[in-house]
Each structure stands twice: as structure tokens, then as C-alpha cells.
Structure 1
Amino acid sequence: MLWHMLVVCSFAAIVSGRSTSDSLLVNIEQGPVKGYKPSQGGLYVFYNIPYATAPTGTERFRPPLPPPTWTEPFEAVQSKIVMCPQGMPNWNANQENRIQMQEDCLIANVYVPDTDEKNLPVIVYVHGGAYQLGHGTDMEATTLVKTRNIIAVSFNYRLGAHGLLCLGTKGIPGNAGMKDQVALLRWVQSNIAQFGGNPNDVTIDGWSAGASSVDLIMLSKMARGLFHKVIPESGSNTASFSVQVDPLANARNVAKELRFNDIDNIDALENFFLNAPIDSLWSVNVFTSKNSSVVFSPCIERDIGEEMFLDDHPVNILKSGDYPKVPMLYGISEMEGIFRVGFFGLWRNAMNEKFSDFFPEDLEFEDENERNEVASKVKQFYFGNEPVGENNILSYVDYFTDVMFGYGTARAVQLQVEAGNNQIYLYIYGFADESEDYILHTNVRGATHCAQTNAVMDQGDESKLSAENQKIKAVMRDLWGTFIKTGKPVPEGSEYPAWPAVGVNRAPYMYLNSKLELRGSFLGSRATFWDDIYSKHFRMPVPPTH
């Protein structure tokens, strides 16, 4: 169960009831769809609308196909949670009974406020889960929808090897799951006006791997014109886990784990994956990598004459400036690395024995001596002359905060500002409620991975939350709702402190806690420390070559 908790920000879905006397019928391109008011009222929810068709059989790794059509009203309800195939945690029987896992899993959920207004702003949520887990209703934003008159869309996309195996062949070109995400945005363009939404005012928002996704979508030529604002929460397109460094090597390693040995023959390798039972693709553990990689993430594609989601590395695209400079609400939580505290007992000795094993995958060195020299420098920066241990676990948290989420955000923001984007509103979220557990071996609480997402999204019966927690949730919904509507989190004359866009040297940023505070350079010396290392040792990811 531990690994599952470490890679998913939240996994609490709502299976809503419906009232046949309180429904809304909408005609979309595929046919009529009927959504229902949930018990709390104030909005209509349309669950499980097919937005595309996932190819199956030996076509399963190909781009998505058009969705089905119908003539009778489609009952857009959620009797079970539809999920794309994925490695399952140890859920109890009751939870399993609520799940319907299937290959053709490309469904959208639309949340519409109960209003006669039209041309409403739209937010599209991309769920997290390390590109291996999750589904569209992992977290829901019904409060934001009801109180801010915003239409929200969530959806499933293919995960793990099913969505991100990348051989650069006709059968397995790569990035199928990312092409699902683009297909969803195209579906929104074609259909959201029928729900009362404005297709020319679409914000894309994601958390963790979903943040990485929306940041990559921003750079993809496939997605031009499909969005107008971006909110990456705890993830970035330059994070070390966002792009496979060597997708062909990853595919070969997984094939070997599955006892296939003819890995250097690309045709045989393709044939093996095309015919492997889909369940077998989740039998290889990709969650405990010391180097913070997740094996199956987006890839730079090999040009085989088809539409490509990603044709170059994000660093190169950002430096070129060839992407839309749109408003962004961009940031992390203060202690993202709490995400890795569950591994502390397993890793502390290994970090003292060979710290370089915990370097991000996208670093390279001339030889082992250079690697060890840099490892010594990094370990000294975070832990001083002390071994990694109970007394400095907060430094352990800082290290994983930076190498997994913080530095990627700092790097991408700097590149964007240099490319001319003057509409990025940068933040660090620091609120931790008194009900939160202390960090292991400390009396300190902190804002963990995706804490800001949990603050904006629904959280059960919120009347039971502390007054301070309720207050920060209201503030976060104000800021996020204002950004979705205007492209700025704080308008002129607001009760909140002025929040200018970030400029050179990654300053300023807003520190979001019980009190909002504008601060100087994002991550300070920690960011500039990694600037120096990446300037010398960055390993540029490559497309599959054969």
C-alpha cells in the first residue's frame, strides 16, 4: 500500500447518486447526453462520456480513434468508476466492486453549474499518479464549479506501458496516453459550448504527473489553439520524470523482466509487446526507483510520418520560444519531498553508501570519479558533514523536493521568462493543518506533495475541517477561480497582497499559507545550486533510434 500512497496525491472518488426529476439533457456531436444533479445540488454532473475510442488488440498502443455515436439519450452516470488498465493497489472488496477497469477507457466527466449563463470559463483537469495510476474522478472540484460559475472537465487517459511505451515503430509510435489528452481537448473544443462553456477560454490544470502533462501540452504542436491558460501543480515539463531519457532502453529492460530475450531485434520486440497479455505490463515494479524515474512517461518521438505529441525536448522548445506564451499559475508545495519519507528506512543507509544512486536520471558524467565528486558536493550541500539520518530528515525532504519537483519548476520558469513569457504567477504552498501527522523523527508538519491541489479540490464534509483549513481552502479557491476567469490570481484592488508576474532570477513568488506573503527568489540558493549542476551534467533525452 505504501508505494501507492507515495505516487498518487489523492484517490478518493465520488460515486454520485442521481435524481430522475432533476436532470439536464445536452446535445453534443455524438448524440444527446443526460446528466444529473448530485445530492448536494448546485450543479449537474455528466459522467463517463466517451470522448474517443482506445484501440485494442494489436492496435492498443496506437493513437486514439473517434468516439462512438448514438441516437437515444446517453445516461451519463457513474455506477462504477471506469479506469484505464493499471497496477492495482490492495483495495478491499468493497472498493473493487466500485471499479470497472477496461482497455477502452477514454471517458470524460463534465461538471456544469446550475445556471442559465452561457460562455462560462472552462477548466480541464489532468489527474496525477506518476503516469501509472489514477482516473478522472480521483479528485473533484464541485465546490469550485458551484461557487465560481466555472465548467470543469476531467477524464481518463491511457497509463503505464499501455499509454507510454515508446518504440518509434508503426505499431508502437509512443505517447498514446498524451495523444488521448489532446483528443480530449479537441473534444472540448467541439462540444463544451453545448454545456454552456466557452471553447475560447479553456484552462488546463493538472497535479503531479498531470502537472507535467499540462506543461508538456503547452509545448506540443498538436495542442495549439486548444487551451488559453495553464496551471501545473507540483510538476513541470523539465522535471526529471517528465520525459523518458532512453525509451528504447526502458522497453528492453521491461521486456527482459517479462522473460523476453530477443530485445535487440526491434521487430521482435514490437511483436512481443503487441501480443503480450495487457495485465502482464503491470507486473514490473516501476515505483521504487532511487533515481526518481517512473520508466513509462512521455517520450520524444521518432518521426514515422504521423502526428507527434513531442518532437523535441522541452528545454530545446523553451529555448526556441516556439510555443504559446499564455498565463500560468505555476508552483509547488513547500515540502514535496515528504512524498519520499516512506522510503527513509530503506534508503538512508544506501544514501550514505552511494549517494549518486539517488541522482535524477537526466544527469550524466564522464566517469565514476566525476560522478562521485558531484555526489559528494550535493550531499555536502544538503547534509553538511553529517550522514543521512534521523537528525537531518528535513534535509532529506528538501533533497527530494528539489530533485523531483522544485528544480524542474525553477528551471522551466527561468527558461520561460527568458523566452518572453511575462504572465507567470509563481508560488510555494506552505499550509499544513494541525490535524496533519508530524514528519517522521520530527515535531514539524509540512505541506506535502500536491497539498495545494487538495486545498482547491473537494475534501469530503468540509464542515468538519479546522477553521484555519476551511479558511485556506476558501482563499485558494478565490485565487484559482480568479486566475481561471482572468488570467491573474489577484485582481486590482483585491483584499489579497498584490501578486506580480515572476521576472528574472525567479522572483518574486507568493508564499501561500494562512497569511499570503510575496517573497524573493524561488528556492533561492537551492535553485542556483542545481543550475550549476545541470549546466554541466544534463543528459538530453533522445527519441527511440533503430
Structure 2
Amino acid sequence: MWRWTFVLYVSMTASAHVSRVVQLPQGPVRGYRDPGGDIFTFYGIPYAAAPTGVNKFKAPLPPPTWQETLEAIDKGIICPQADFAPIVPKEKLMQEDCLIANIFQPDTKKNNLPVFIIIHGGGFQIGYGNWLTDIFFTNPILLSTKTHLENVHDQIYLYEYSFTDKNVALIPHTNVRGAEHCAQSMAVFDGTGLNQPDELNITLEYKEIKRTMRELWSNFITTGKPVLEGSPFPSWPAVRANFTPYMSLGQTLELKSALLERRVRFWSDIYDKYYHTPVPPPKLRISYDEL
């Protein structure tokens, strides 16, 4: 358990940077107030030591300790990974010693605050602490839906693809199966993967969801509606406010209300409070003295 002791510092440079020193069992760390909001940021705090050398592929080692104050600034450290897409920005630094936590703390002296923990996506293969699923996919899609509705584009049909069967791999370190990235696309395409064009060994359930997905998409492309009158599928109205209703596409089709309501509300509150329309920096006024 980390114990926090606060000390505030103000250092005067081109502009004032307010910092806060926190005393951890490993040693003191200094974070800085974010210029865009009322939070302090602490980057790169080691929570364990990477097992390198003779310890490679073993369990993580205890975290290091230090006497001098650790400057908890963002060095862009991420774990080694293959940059498939590529999605890793050039300024990121890949290194084995990457078992670090980035901590964001409100500017308050209150204790016992709630803790929100982010474990990045990427299937334990790629990615880093950047809220990959929510800020890249979920929230932008739903915000875009909201914008369309506010601008009288009211023929949007929202759905969540959640189909799994016995051939879907378990999520690592769990006994849970979930729809994988691009799974809905493969349900429409031929085969079971980009390099597996045949469908000889798929389950009856997967054959049925493939047939269903293809019919829904074909209907939408040709008529603008995924479910036609007289269809055996459940009635599917266009989405309205609060992202209601939406269709859950799993082993069965089920019309539900308020897609990801709590997550949407969580991120919307953050955007409403902290997001600002970008503005260009002020132009520098340079004066010259003639000799």
C-alpha cells in the first residue's frame, strides 16, 4: 500500500510550475500540476523491476528504492512490442524496464479518494497506458452518434457485437470469452480469419451469426434499414437520445437500452470539464536593436 505525504513547491522559470512531492515506501517522487487542469501528474513511478538478464521471463522483481527525489515526468516509456499498425508514436521509448505507473491526482488535500485504474488494451501484445479502447473507439463513436442526432441525421442503428462460441479463445488470465477486435468484420467476411478462407470447421452457432450479420448489412446497404418489415429478426428502431435503443448481436438478437451508459457518462463528464477547443499559441514578438 502506498502512503502519500504532500509537500508543495513552486519553481519560477519562464512560467510558474507548481509541483507536489509524495513520499512513497520506495522514496520521494515529485509530480507537477498539469497546465490544463486541476490535477497533478506523476509519470514513470516504478511498481516493480523488470526481470532482465538471468531473470528474464521470470516474475517481476521488487521495485527499486531511491534516496533523492524522483522527478516523475513523462519520458514516454513503453514496453517492447512489434509495431504492427504502426500505432506507436515516434517519441515513445521502448525498453524492458517498463513496469511503471502513471498517476493523476486531483488538486485536493482530501484523503480516501476513489481510484480509477486503467489497464491498456492490445491483447497483451501491443499498446501502452493510453485508454486505448475507450478514447480510440467507444467514446468517439458514441460522441459522433450524438453529433449526428443533434444535426437531424436520425437514421442511425446502434449495435454491440458480442457473439462468442467455444472456438473463441479465453481472455488471457481469465475464464471469460469475449468478442475480439475485428470479430464482427470476420462474421461478414468469408472464412474465420484473414488467412483462413474456409468455413468447414466452424460451429453451427457461428454459421448462424454469419448468416445473420450478412443479412443485416445487406438490408442496411440496400434499404437503409437493417431489419425489414416481416423479418424474423426483432424490430430494430433507429437510435435516439441517450443511445437508446441498440441491438445486442450475440447468440441471439436482443434489443436493449442505453449502450454503455455508465462509461459514456464517465467520459462525457471528463470531456465537458477538461476539453477545450485547440487554439494556436500566441505569436512571439521579436524586437531588434540597431547598433
User: If the TM-score is normalised by the length of the shorter chain, which range does it land in?
Assistant: 0.5 to 0.7
Unaligned runs of 5+ in 1: 1-282, 296-342, 357-367
Identify the residue that residue 231 of structure 2 maps to in structure 1: 494
Instruction: Give the 5 Å matches for 1:207-356.
Output: 287-288=87-88, 349-350=99-100, 353-355=101-103
Identify the residue that residue 527 of structure 1 maps to in structure 2: 264
Identify the residue that residue 436 of structure 1 maps to in structure 2: 168
Instruction: Give the 5 Å matches for 1:53-202.
Output: none
SS where residue 167 of structure 2 aligns?
Answer: coil
Which amino acid in structure 1 is aligned with residue 137 of structure 2? F
Q: What percent of counterpart residues are identical? A: 40
1:44-94 deviation digits (Å, cap 9, x = unpaired): xxxxxxxxxxxxxxxxxxxxxxxxxxxxxxxxxxxxxxxxxxxxxxxxxxx
Change (3 A) 1:469 1:418: same
Change (3 A) 1:543 1:495: farther
Which amino acid in structure 1 is aligned with residue 187 of structure 2? A
Conservation of the 8 A alpha-carbon contact between 2:156 and 2:238: yes
CA distance in 1, matches of 2:179, 2:97: 23
CA distance in 2, matches of 1:447, 1:543: 41
Identify the residue that residue 471 of structure 1 maps to in structure 2: 208
Change (3 A) 1:380 1:485: same
Which amino acid in structure 1 is aligned with residue 102 of structure 2? K
Identify the residue that residue 184 of structure 2 maps to in structure 1: 452
Identify the residue that residue 427 of structure 1 maps to in structure 2: 159
Change (3 A) 1:462 1:545: farther
CA drift at 1:369: 5.5
Q: Which has the higher helix share?
A: 1
Change (3 A) 1:454 1:542: farther
Change (3 A) 1:346 1:490: farther
Which amino acid in structure 2 is aligned with residue 439 of structure 1? I
CA drift at 1:288: 3.3
Conservation of the 8 A alpha-carbon contact between 1:410 and 1:523: no
Residue 380 (structure 1) aligned to one of 99, 115, 122: 115
1:251-273 deviation digits (Å, cap 9, x = unpaired): xxxxxxxxxxxxxxxxxxxxxxx
CA distance in 2, matches of 1:448, 1:287: 18
SS where residue 413 of structure 1 aligns?
Answer: helix
Identify the residue that residue 403 of structure 1 maps to in structure 2: 135
State the superposition RMSD in angstroms: 3.8
Which amino acid in structure 1 is aligned with residue 88 of structure 2? T
Identify the residue that residue 65 of structure 2 maps to in structure 1: none
Which amino acid in structure 1 is aligned with residue 115 of structure 2? Q
Calculate the TM-score normalised by the size of structure 1: 0.30
Change (3 A) 1:346 1:475: farther
Is 1:413 the counterpart of 2:148? The answer is: no
CA distance in 1, matches of 2:163, 2:279: 39
Larger Rg: 2
Conservation of the 8 A alpha-carbon contact between 2:163 and 2:179: yes
Calculate the TM-score normalised by the size of structure 2: 0.54
Which amino acid in structure 2 is aligned with residue 512 of structure 1? L
SS where residue 115 of structure 2 aligns?
Answer: helix
CA distance in 2, matches of 1:532, 1:466: 42
CA distance in 2, matches of 1:437, 1:513: 16
CA distance in 2, matches of 1:515, 1:532: 33
CA distance in 2, matches of 1:506, 1:433: 27
CA distance in 1, matches of 2:228, 2:280: 43
1:264-310 deviation digits (Å, cap 9, x = unpaired): xxxxxxxxxxxxxxxxxxx9x95335xxxx99xxxxxxxxxxxxxxx
Alignment length, in residue pairs? 183
SS where residue 425 of structure 1 aligns?
Answer: coil
CA distance in 1, matches of 2:215, 2:145: 23
CA drift at 1:463: 2.5
CA distance in 1, matches of 2:175, 2:149: 38
Change (3 A) 1:426 1:542: farther
SS where residue 534 of structure 1 aligns?
Answer: helix
Unaligned runs of 5+ in 2: 1-82, 192-196, 284-291
Change (3 A) 1:413 1:441: same
CA drift at 1:381: 4.5
CA distance in 1, matches of 2:145, 2:219: 21
SS where residue 179 of structure 2 aligns?
Answer: coil
Conservation of the 8 A alpha-carbon contact between 2:164 and 2:251: no
Conservation of the 8 A alpha-carbon contact between 2:139 and 2:264: yes
CA distance in 1, matches of 2:250, 2:279: 40
CA distance in 2, matches of 1:346, 1:439: 25
CA distance in 2, matches of 1:443, 1:544: 50
CA drift at 1:537: 1.5
